[in-house]
Chains A and B, each alone.
Chain A
Amino acid sequence: MENQEKMNKEKLKSMEAIFEAKIANDEKIEPKDWMPEKYRKTHIRQISQHAHSEIVGMLPEGNWITRAPSLRRKVALLAKVQDEAGHGLYLYSACETLGISREEMYDQLHSGKAKYSSIFNYPTLTWADMGAIGWLVDGAAIINQVPLCNTSFGPYARAMVRVCKEESFHQRQGYEIMMTLCNGTQEQKDMAQDALNRWWWPSLMMFGPTDDESTHTEQSMKWKLKRKTNDELRQQFIDQTVPQADILGLTVPDLDLRFNNDTGHYDFGKIDWDEFWQVVKGHGRCNKERISARKNAWDNGKWVRDAAVAYAEKQSDKEEVKKAV
């Protein structure tokens, strides 16, 4: 018995060593490889949260499909929202390789156990919001996600390569919507400015709490779930986006924003972290609507999914009968 235990411990140690060596050598961890339980759990949490963000993220933009102002814009928006569904699909699939089903993940989303990006709890009130979301929200998402193309878990890294390509297309599309508005009438410019005013601060919050408030960072760095800290990424986003706002002729809604010649970066004002936590805890403008829209789609679709299963079973029964005869 003691021997058995000793052997198990040794085996575990050697598997841990193989795992650590792979991480150190920048090799990918694949679903069938041994991995520490904490690695598995952390990845399930992050990938499912990412998948949920894609799916919930379809709703604020889906809100403008029927009202898009031109056929060209309507087609582009439909295609964009469809891309997000596609991202959700391959992220859920990547997550399933870690031993959790899509149904379980949906349950966690619907019960509030799993989170999704808080940005999607803000309402889309005008057409300009379609521009601002593409430009700012997808822009922030890209900065968060590009490093994940090299993350240690193989299926996640491969999914992210594809996601990032499409996201950068979406961002250009969003910026182009803003540009068209800013080259338009005064009413259109006002619409664009109003959208920037509403989406700027929530976009900065997408990078998460400041470094001194953020948990998990060290472990995530080691597993290459993170390469830079929240504050570094946020600064990168601001430095990249402020000149783009200048080109549009729009004013970033931050009186403290100015370029710092000493640091080579923009200094910016204080983020309202009370608002951030309010939304994260479920009390944003649209938290309830977003979850209930997802839940309704799932609950109302149950009879459809049941029918598909029943039909497939009947077909395979028929096949069995045919074979037997």
Chain B
Amino acid sequence: MTNENLIQYLYGIADNSLILGQRLGELCGHGPTLETDIALTNISLDLFGQVRSYFQYLAELSKDDLTEDDLAFLRKEREYKNLLLVEQPNTDFAYIIVRQYFFDVFHYMLLEKLQDSKNVNLQGIAKKSIKEVAYHQRFSGDWLLRLGDGTEESKQKVQQAVSDLWVFTDELFHVTKDDEAVIKAGHGVDVRLLKDDYYAKITNQLKQATLEVPETKYFQKGGKQGIHSEHMGYILADMQFMQRAYPDMKW
């Protein structure tokens, strides 16, 4: 395992929290109730907290004199390695919840294994983050039940979101060459091994929510290679605005 392998592996994890945190940040003040508004902001805050831990470690690993903010705000689009799932827009509350639930279940399983990493930094971050993610998973899982088994309208909306976002779930279990090296060294988690449990778990929850499990065999991929959706450019334009418009300043 080279240093670069580890750096790329870390981006693959941290960028998910970064971009999903950013998406949730867009919602602050616009939620369907004050309570959900507060809860989603809380999740966003947790994710950004995790991002800072990963990026501070990444900054130490990098040869150049980089800061967490250089990594968050000054990369080119192709250098972000987040999953396509997390960059999908806040179409409505159903999409927000399904996107969150599909990610949270995966995120929890990943962190569970990452706690056993040979890398003490990753171990530490995983141990701290998993408590937060346990809450995220409960929040999104509960809302999935409410929306699925709520009214006709909510069922139809959440079913639509499930069908549309399902195609992004397969990518959660893709492994890049960098990932392979880090897994082999015992620092990373082989996400391929989580796949069966993951689908069993979300299938069960969808059934409990009285929702149909999509049957499509066609999935989308590319985020892990830095080939994103059209949404990504706008997310970055927003997120990087200050750093691009006013370079080299302290804030």
**A interface residues, Cβ below 8 angstroms from B:** 55, 58-59, 62, 65-75, 78-79, 81-82, 85-86, 88-89, 92, 127, 177, 180-181, 183-185, 187-188, 293, 296-298, 300-312, 314
Known: A75-B48, A85-B34, A89-B34. A307 touches B146 (CB 8 A): yes
Which partner residue on chain B sits nearest A56 by CB separation?
B29
| Cα–Cα, bound, A302→B42 (Å) | 22
In the bound complex, do residue A66 and residue B238 qualify as a contact, i.e. CB atoms below 8 Å apart?
yes
Which partner residue on chain B sits nearest A127 by CB separation?
B242
In the bound complex, do residue B48 and residue A311 qualify as a contact, i.e. CB atoms below 8 Å apart?
no
| Cα–Cα, bound, A73→B92 (Å) | 27
Is B250 in contact with chain A by the CB < 8 A criterion?
yes
In the bound complex, do residue A296 and residue B249 qualify as a contact, i.e. CB atoms below 8 Å apart?
no
Contact of B157 among A184, A185, A303 (CB under 8 A): A303
| Cα–Cα, bound, A303→B147 (Å) | 9
Contact of A62 among B29, B32, B33, B154 (CB under 8 A): B29
Which partner residue on chain A sits nearest B35 by CB separation?
A89
A-B CB proximity, top 3 nearest: A301-B32, A307-B150, A307-B154
Interface pairs (7), CB distance under 8 Å:
A71-B72, A75-B52, A78-B25, A85-B34, A88-B34, A301-B31, A304-B147
Residues of B within 8 A of A78 (CB): 25, 28, 41, 44-45, 48
| Cα–Cα, bound, A67→B153 (Å) | 34
In the bound complex, do residue B246 and residue A82 qualify as a contact, i.e. CB atoms below 8 Å apart?
no
In the bound complex, do residue A86 and residue B38 qualify as a contact, i.e. CB atoms below 8 Å apart?
yes
Contact of B246 among A59, A183, A187, A297 (CB under 8 A): A187
Residues of A within 8 A of B26 (CB): 65-66
Is B106 in contact with chain A by the CB < 8 A criterion?
no
Known: A67-B239, A187-B246, A311-B150. A304 touches B29 (CB 8 A): no
In the bound complex, do residue A74 and residue B251 qualify as a contact, i.e. CB atoms below 8 Å apart?
no
Interface flags, B34-68, vs A, CB<8A=1, else 0: 11111001101100110110010000000000001
* Nearest CB in chain A: distance from B229 CB, A: 17
| Cα–Cα, bound, A151→B25 (Å) | 35
In the bound complex, do residue B49 and residue A89 qualify as a contact, i.e. CB atoms below 8 Å apart?
no
* Nearest CB in chain A: distance from B209 CB, A: 10
Is B140 in contact with chain A by the CB < 8 A criterion?
no
In the bound complex, do residue A62 and residue B93 qualify as a contact, i.e. CB atoms below 8 Å apart?
no
| Majority SS at the chain B contact face | helix
Which partner residue on chain A sits nearest B32 by CB separation?
A301
Residues of B within 8 A of A314 (CB): 149
In the bound complex, do residue B153 and residue A306 qualify as a contact, i.e. CB atoms below 8 Å apart?
yes
Is B219 in contact with chain A by the CB < 8 A criterion?
no
Known: A78-B28, A127-B251, A311-B145. A67 touches B55 (CB 8 A): no
Is B173 in contact with chain A by the CB < 8 A criterion?
no
- Known pairs A55-B34, A304-B36. 19 more at Cβ < 8 A? A62-B29, A62-B30, A67-B242, A69-B69, A69-B73, A69-B243, A71-B52, A74-B25, A74-B48, A78-B41, A82-B28, A127-B242, A180-B251, A185-B249, A297-B32, A300-B32, A301-B33, A306-B154, A307-B153
In the bound complex, do residue B249 and residue A188 qualify as a contact, i.e. CB atoms below 8 Å apart?
yes
Which partner residue on chain A sits nearest B52 by CB separation?
A71
Residues of A within 8 A of B239 (CB): 66-67
**B interface residues, Cβ below 8 angstroms from A:** 22, 25-26, 28-38, 41-42, 44-45, 48-49, 51-52, 55, 68-69, 72-73, 92-93, 145-147, 149-151, 153-154, 157, 238-239, 241-243, 246, 249-251
| Cα–Cα, bound, A302→B35 (Å) | 14
Residues of A within 8 A of B154 (CB): 303-304, 306-307, 310
Residues of A within 8 A of B157 (CB): 303
Residues of B within 8 A of A297 (CB): 29-32
Which partner residue on chain B sits nearest A63 by CB separation?
B29
Which partner residue on chain B sits nearest A85 by CB separation?
B38
In the bound complex, do residue B251 and residue A69 qualify as a contact, i.e. CB atoms below 8 Å apart?
yes
Residues of B within 8 A of A310 (CB): 150-151, 154
Residues of A within 8 A of B34 (CB): 55, 85, 88-89, 92
In the bound complex, do residue B32 and residue A81 qualify as a contact, i.e. CB atoms below 8 Å apart?
no
| Cα–Cα, bound, A309→B44 (Å) | 26
In the bound complex, do residue A184 and residue B249 qualify as a contact, i.e. CB atoms below 8 Å apart?
yes
In the bound complex, do residue A82 and residue B238 qualify as a contact, i.e. CB atoms below 8 Å apart?
no
* Nearest CB in chain B: distance from A322 CB, A: 17
Residues of B within 8 A of A127 (CB): 242, 251
* Nearest CB in chain A: distance from B71 CB, A: 9
Contact of B25 among A66, A85, A307 (CB under 8 A): A66
| Cα–Cα, bound, A169→B150 (Å) | 41
Residues of A within 8 A of B150 (CB): 306-311
Which partner residue on chain B sits nearest A191 by CB separation?
B246
Which partner residue on chain B sits nearest A312 by CB separation?
B146
Known: A304-B154, A307-B146. A75 touches B49 (CB 8 A): yes
| Cα–Cα, bound, A82→B55 (Å) | 24
| Cα–Cα, bound, A235→B146 (Å) | 52
In the bound complex, do residue A71 and residue B28 qualify as a contact, i.e. CB atoms below 8 Å apart?
no
Residues of B within 8 A of A302 (CB): 32
